[in-house]
Each structure stands twice: as C-alpha cells, then as structure tokens.
C-alpha cells in the first residue's frame, strides 16, 4: 500500500478531520510517514479562514511541483475548506493537485486516492478535471447542527410517551 503524508493547517476541526482520515486510511492498510519526501501520497488538510495557513498551503504545493516533474506517480491531495471553497480554481492555479476533497466529503477520500494511485495520472498537461468530491455550498456546521437537532428531538425526555 502507498505511504501517506498528511499535514494539517488551521482550525481544531481540521485536527479532528485529519485524525479521522488517518484512521480511515490506516484501517484500509495505508502506511504513514512523517516526511513528504518519503510519501507516495501527500495530503494537505486546509483552512480557508486563516490567511497564514492558506499561504503555507500554496507554498507547500509550489514545492511539490518540482518533485512531481521527476516523480509523476506522486499523488497530491488538498482536503478541507480550501478545497471546497476554491475547487477548480485551485486546480487551475496548481495543476500538481490530483485530488480535491471538501470537509463534508471525506468519506469519499479512499476511493479518490485509490483511483488516483491506480491511474497514476497527473493533471499537469491534461484537460482532466481531476478527482473531486465537494459538497458545494453546504457547510459542515449547518449539517452538524441539523444532525444534533434530530438527535436532541429523539432524546426529548419531557415529551409524553
């Protein structure tokens, strides 16, 4: 199985999402590395609220351009808010990116990575739209609150039985 490097930027929700992603990929047999230079898959879990974090992501992606030229089998993924907000604009600006996955679609990440690894296709020099899983304009917070509301309604102890 491929070796994965995952770097998390931004908020505490991203820390949790990264832990969930690592658990999900680990359960599927992926191994992990602490160094992007040793990885077959490099993932950045991003935040679009904090500008400093966003600039670091752009810088890291720029650094991977050189490696991608010499190692076209490298799979690069951008996860989280930046992927959801910037979508195809991110792909146009950084064609080194193979996979985009918004925070509400992280359950699709293993399939996206599997396809990217199997095809070993880089977006650089192609017209492909890449591997994309985005919810659109739906925010994770509103869906979480809606789910919490459903749960609270089910647990309403004051309700007559």
Q: Which residue has the higher pLDDT, 128 or 38?
A: 38
Dihedral angle sign, alpha carbons of residues 35, 121, 46, 92: positive
83/100 Cα distance (integer angstroms):
6
Q: Looking at residues 131-160, what average pLDDT do you find?
A: 42
What's the pLDDT band for 132 if we cut at 50, 70, 90? low
Q: Per-residue pLDDT for 128 more than 50?
A: no
**Residues of the chain with pLDDT > 70: what percent?**
74
Q: Which residue has the higher pLDDT, 24 or 149?
A: 24
Which pLDDT belongs to residue 49?
77
- Please, how many CA atoms are within 13 Å of residue 32, restricted to the half-sphere of its CB? 14
With beta carbons less than 8 A apart as the criterion, state whether 81 and 47 touch: yes
Which pLDDT belongs to residue 33?
98
Where exactly are the structural domains of the chain?
3-136
Give the predicted TM-score (pTM) of the model. Answer: 0.75
Question: For the CA atoms of the chain, what is the radius of gyration?
Answer: 17
Number of CB atoms found within 10 A of residue 131's CB = 23
Kindly report the CA angle at 72 between 66 and 74, in degrees rounded to 5?
Answer: 85
Q: Which two tokens stand for residue 10?
A: 């931004």
Which pLDDT belongs to residue 83?
92
Q: Which residue has the higher pLDDT, 85 or 52?
A: 85
Q: Which residue has the higher pLDDT, 49 or 37?
A: 37
Which pLDDT belongs to residue 59?
94
Q: Looking at residues 149-158, what average pLDDT do you find?
A: 39
Q: From start to end of 57-118, where are the E strands? A: 75-80, 99-101
Task: Name the residue among 160, 90, 159, 81 with its Cα closest to residue 131.
Answer: 90
Domain spanning 3-136, CATH architecture: 3-Layer(aba) Sandwich (3.40)
Q: Which residue has the higher pLDDT, 160 or 30?
A: 30
* Strand partners for 52: none
Q: Looking at residues 56-76, what average pLDDT do you find?
A: 93
Q: Per-residue pLDDT for 17 more than 90?
A: yes
């Amino acid at each position: 199985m491929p070796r994965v490097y995952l770097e998390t930027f931004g908020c505490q929700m991203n820390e949790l999402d990264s832990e969930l992603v690592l658990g999900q990929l680990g359960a599927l047999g992926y191994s992990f590395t602490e160094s992007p230079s040793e990885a077959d898959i490099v993932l950045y879990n991003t935040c679009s609220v904090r500008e400093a974090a966003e600039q670091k992501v752009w810088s890291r992606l720029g650094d991977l351009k050189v490696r991608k030229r010499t190692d076209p089998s490298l799979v690069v993924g951008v996860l989280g808010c930046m992927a959801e907000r910037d979508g195809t604009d991110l792909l146009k600006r950084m064609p080194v990116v193979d996979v985009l996955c918004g925070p509400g679609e992280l359950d699709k990440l293993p399939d996206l990575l599997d396809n990217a690894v199997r095809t070993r296709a880089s977006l650089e020099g192609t017209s492909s739209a890449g591997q994309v899983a985005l919810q659109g304009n739906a925010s994770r917070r509103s869906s979480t609150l809606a789910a919490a509301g459903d749960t609270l309604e089910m647990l309403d102890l004051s309700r007559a039985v």
